[in-house]
Amino acid sequence: MELPNVECARIAALDALPEMARHKLPDGDRRTFSVLIRNQNGATIYTATLDLIGEWHIPRADSSSCPS
């Protein structure tokens, strides 16, 4: 997508990360989501990254799948 300036691009990148994590369910309990912003010449000028980590704090008694 094209945006009017680098600050708008930064905000769009940061806003996109939670949506990516919400809609792209990870395999396993660890996933990293990244967004790169490139200028009109294709050079990367900004990177935003979100690490999603799930950890159990109790023994897992039931490993059956959840309903959709």
Residues recorded for the chain: 68
Contact 35, 59 (CB under 8 A): no
In the structure encoding, which two tokens stand for residue 28, read together? 């396993």
* Distance, CA of 3 to CA of 9 (rounded, Å): 6
Instruction: Looking at 1-68, list the stretches that DSSP marks H as alpha helix, in order from N- to C-terminal side.
Output: 6-23
pLDDT 10s per residue in the chain (68 long)? 889 999 999 999 999 999 888 877 656 788 899 999 999 999 999 999 999 888 889 987 666 666 65
